Amino acid sequence: MSNAKILPTESTQSNQEQKETMSDGGRAVSQRPKENKITISNVELFYGAYKALHGISLTIPAREVTAFIGPSGCGKSTLLRSINRMNDLIDGVTLTGSIYIDNEDIYAPHIDLIELRKKVGMVFQKSNPFPKSIFDNVAYGPRIHGLRDKDYIDETVRKSLMRADLWREVKDRLHTSALDLSGGQQQRLCIARALAVNPDVLLMDEPASALDPRSTSKIEDLIGELRNDYTIVIVTHNMQQAARVSDTTAFFYEGRVIEHGVTKELFTKPVEKQTEDYITGRFG
Residues near other proteins, by CB under 8 A: 84, 86, 89, 91, 113-118, 121-122, 124, 126, 128-131, 140-141, 144-145, 177, 179-180, 190, 193-194, 197
Please, what is the minimum distance in Å from the beta carbon of residue 224 to other proteins? 23
Q: Minimal CA–CA distance to 79: which of 116, 118, 111, 52?
A: 52
Distance of alpha carbon 231 from alpha carbon 202, whole angstroms: 6
Q: Minimal CA–CA distance to 79: which of 56, 50, 111?
A: 56
Q: Of 141 and 255, which has the nearer Cβ to other proteins?
A: 141
Please, what is the minimum distance in Å from the beta carbon of residue 132 to other proteins? 9
Q: Minimal CA–CA distance to 235: which of 130, 129, 122?
A: 122
Please, what is the minimum distance in Å from the beta carbon of residue 272 to other proteins? 33
Burial 211-249 (b: 16+ CB within 10 A, else e): beeebbebbbebbeebbbbbbbbbbbbbbebbbbbbbbb
For 146, left (φ over 0), alpha (ψ -120 to 50), or beta? left
Helix (H, G, I), strand (E, B) or coil at 23: helix
Q: Of 75 and 129, which has the nearer Cβ to other proteins?
A: 129
Quickly count: other Cβ atoms within 10 Å of residue 180's Cβ: 12
Please, what is the minimum distance in Å from the beta carbon of residue 134 to other proteins? 14
Q: Of 190 and 279, which has the nearer Cβ to other proteins?
A: 190
Q: Of 21 and 177, which has the nearer Cβ to other proteins?
A: 177
Please, what is the minimum distance in Å from the beta carbon of residue 84 to other proteins? 6
Contacts of 131 (CB under 8 A, 6+ apart): 177, 178, 179
Please, what is the minimum distance in Å from the beta carbon of residue 24 to other proteins? 36
Q: Of 180 and 221, which has the nearer Cβ to other proteins?
A: 180
Q: Of 131 and 281, which has the nearer Cβ to other proteins?
A: 131
